[in-house]
């Protein structure tokens, strides 16, 4: 089905036109198009809660990093108070 979706994208027809031409069920095509998009497009970050793991290190020497699920990092080069961090994440 993914190969049909790629053909549809190249042809530039509407989804309904393409489904009629290829004798495909429109709703089934929609289902496979959603699956195609999930597997071929970058994952978008959904807003919500995330678990914060604190790794014990010496606060005097080590920088602190927050690594988000999508790979972005927030780096503090100086010691950070836990209350400041909590307020920042809210």
Per-residue pLDDT tens for 33-74?
988 888 877 665 566 666 766 666 555 456 677 777 777 888
Note the Cα 40 to chain centre separation in Å.
12
Q: Are residues 30 and 53 in the same domain?
A: no
Q: Are residues 55 and 73 in the same domain?
A: yes
Domain that holds residue 67: 49-90
Q: Are residues 56 and 83 in the same domain?
A: yes
Note the Cα 5 to chain centre separation in Å.
22
Q: What is the pLDDT of residue 27?
A: 92
Q: Are residues 29 and 58 in the same domain?
A: no
10 compared with 54, residue with greater pLDDT? 10
Tally of domains within the chain: 2
Q: Average pLDDT, stretch 18-41?
A: 89
3 state SS of 18: helix
Q: Are residues 17 and 54 in the same domain?
A: no
Q: What is the pLDDT of residue 42?
A: 65
Q: Are residues 61 and 34 in the same domain?
A: no
């Amino acid at each position: 089905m993914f190969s049909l979706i790629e053909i549809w994208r190249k042809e530039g027809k509407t989804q309904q036109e393409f489904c009629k031409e290829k004798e495909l069920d429109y709703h089934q095509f929609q289902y496979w198009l959603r699956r195609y998009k999930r597997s071929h497009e970058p994952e978008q970050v959904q807003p919500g809660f995330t678990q914060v793991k604190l790794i014990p290190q010496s606060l005097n020497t080590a920088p602190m990093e927050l690594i988000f699920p999508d790979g972005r990092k927030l780096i503090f080069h100086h010691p950070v108070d836990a209350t400041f961090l909590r307020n920042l994440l809210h």
